[in-house]
A and B are shown apart, each in its own frame.
Chain A
Amino acid sequence: DAGITQSPRHKVTETGTPVTLRCHQTENHRYMYWYRQDPGHGLRLIHYSYGVKDTDKGEVSDGYSVSRSKTEDFLLTLESATSSQTSVYFCAIGGYSNQPQHFGDGTRLSIL
């Protein structure tokens, strides 16, 4: 298995609170990604990073910010969580050239 650790694995919080999810990799991959998965929508890309301090938006980036201060960590922040952000969040690494992305086990986030 690819060396990807997502934390926390589960979180319940209230609307309006800030939330940060962490993705940690031990594979030294340049590329890292954050997806969310919802029933009826499949996996959708939120943000991705192509190097330290280099990030870009995906298709559903509104309400989310990311940071990558070192190769191994990619943080996803919900500045003021809303109920519509209740979802399962997956981190992925790799994907350079034709190489596949590899996914973490996900974080289940519930916003009440």
Chain B
Amino acid sequence: DAKTTQPPSMDCAEGRAANLPCNHSTISGNEYVYWYRQIHSQGPQYIIHGLKNNETNEMASLIITEDRKSSTLILPHATLRDTAVYYCIVRVLGDDKIIFGKGTRLHILP
């Protein structure tokens, strides 16, 4: 079973920041937080990952709480092309497998 909890859906206005929450209250010290998204009919796309520090790349920012029990993915300026299902995943360092939950369906509203 997935070790994360995400809201099933969210709306965000185009041009605004989209903040997607994820709860991973049972995360252990050697587990990373990964975010992927899946645009309709395409393969999952890797976005970002982190262990305990906040991370930023060209796509998004990842904010992990100090106790590591939750995180937020931030898309700074959402566009219609960001409409997708977003998956938050925890994975043990060195584990070959990742387990996808149901994710959050993000709707970007024009």
Contact residue among B44, B46, B96, B102 (Cβ-Cβ distance under 8 Å from A90): B44
Across-interface contacts of A45 in B (CB, < 8 A): 97-99
Interface flags for B1-41 (1: CB within 8 Å of A; 0: not) read 00000000000000000000000000000001010100001
A64 at interface, CB cutoff 8 A: no
Give the shortest distance, in Å, between A55 (CB) and chain B (any CB).
11
Which B21-69 residues have C-beta < 8 A from chain A? Answer: 32, 34, 36, 41-46, 49, 51
Across-interface contacts of B94 in A (CB, < 8 A): 97
Q: CA–CA, A16 to B43, complex, Å?
A: 28
Question: How large, as a class, is the contact surface on chain B?
Answer: 20 to 34
Q: Which residue of A lies closest to B100 (CB)?
A: A43
A95 touches B44 (CB 8 A): no
Q: Which residue of A lies closest to B98 (CB)?
A: A101
B49 touches A105 (CB 8 A): no
B45 touches A103 (CB 8 A): yes
Interface flags for A63-95 (1: CB within 8 Å of B; 0: not) read 000000000000000000000000000101001
Interface flags for A89-111 (1: CB within 8 Å of B; 0: not) read 01010010110111111100000
Q: CA–CA, A100 to B97, complex, Å?
A: 11
Give the shortest distance, in Å, between A45 (CB) and chain B (any CB).
6
* 9 more CB-based (< 8 A) A-B contacts, given A98-B51, A100-B34, A105-B42: A45-B97, A45-B98, A45-B99, A97-B93, A98-B49, A98-B91, A100-B46, A103-B45, A106-B43
Q: List 19 A-B contacts (CB under 8 A).
A: A31-B96, A42-B100, A43-B100, A45-B99, A48-B97, A56-B96, A58-B97, A95-B98, A97-B94, A98-B91, A100-B34, A101-B98, A102-B46, A103-B44, A103-B45, A105-B42, A105-B43, A106-B42, A106-B43
